[in-house]
Chains A and B, each alone.
Chain A
Amino acid sequence: DAGITQSPRYKITETGRQVTLMCHQTWSHSYMFWYRQDLGHGLRLIYYSAAADITDKGEVPDGYVVSRSKTENFPLTLESATRSQTSVYFCASANYEQYFGPGTRLTVT
């Protein structure tokens, strides 16, 4: 089915470990985004990408790395996970209106 998917849906990891969250879209949208959602903060942009090999920082990029070698994929890597990165992560894609994936609930212990 066409759409936007994220994996894993749930992840528990330990402090200091590297974690990669995957995002895949089948709409051929040019733009892709990573947000985190925390109680009291709402949705905050981490990184976004306008096309393959073009990425830019959002509001809260520290501790995260992204890449976009193919239009359809936009993985987000936490290089050394910290407890403050416990959150729900949403990927979104757009040509104009943004559509969100189902989210990944990440817990860092």
Chain B
Amino acid sequence: QKEVEQNSGPLSVPEGAIASLNCTYSDRGSQSFFWYRQYSGKSPELIMSIYSNGDKEDGRFTAQLNKASQYVSLLIRDSQPSDSATYLCAVNIMPQAGTALIFGKGTTLSVSS
């Protein structure tokens, strides 16, 4: 059974702080990794993708991947109240989209002003 694990939270951080969200996955053959943000009552929105070991930065977001440890994380710098949402980690075991994604259950982030 392929699994993606996330701490459900809630993770509470003050405005301006760094929020760190973590995800582990069970299938060592996993090849691509995604972070989605989901606001309450809305659909998941893709915010980051990462395919190779190391860091990938996009604005205030940094995704980190360590395939040896089967670990992927998302850092949000200068957290804003608008970042309050559930963050879903998703893993694809194949390089193409055909096999779909395995999702974690999500971590709820709350940023207080």
Chain A interface residues toward B at CB < 8 A: 30-31, 33, 40-43, 45, 48, 50, 58, 90, 94-103
- What residues of chain B lie closer than 8 Å to A102, measured between beta carbons? 42-43
A59 to chain B, nearest CB (A): 9
Distance in angstroms between the alpha carbons of A103 and B49 in the assembled complex? 22
B49 engages A97 (CB within 8 Å): yes
A91 to chain B, nearest CB (A): 9
B24 to chain A, nearest CB (A): 15
A25–B99 Cα distance when bound, in Å, is 19
When chains A and B are docked, how far (Å) is the Cα of A30 from the Cα of B98? 9
B78 to chain A, nearest CB (A): 25
- The stretch from B9-17, B52-60, B64-72, B103-111 touching chain A is B103-111
With most chain A CB atoms within 10 A of its CB, the pick from B34, B46, B97 is B97
Chain B residues within 8 Å of A97, by CB: 34, 46, 49, 97
Interface secondary structure of A, over-half rule: strand
- Asked if A96 meets B43 with Cβ closer than 8 Å, knowing A42-B104, A42-B105, A42-B106, the reply is no
A43 close to B88 (CB less than 8 A) = yes
Tell me, in angstroms, the Cα distance from A94 to B34 when the chains sit together: 13
The answer on a CB contact under 8 Å between B103 and A43 is yes
Given contacts A42-B106, A100-B44, contact A95 B88 (CB under 8 A): no
Closest CB-CB distance, A30 to chain B, in whole Å? 8
Question: Is B106's CB under 8 angstroms from A48's CB?
Answer: no
A-B contact pairs, 20 of them (CB 8 A): A31-B97, A40-B105, A41-B105, A42-B103, A42-B106, A43-B44, A45-B100, A48-B98, A58-B100, A95-B97, A97-B49, A98-B34, A98-B97, A98-B100, A98-B101, A100-B36, A100-B45, A102-B42, A103-B42, A103-B43
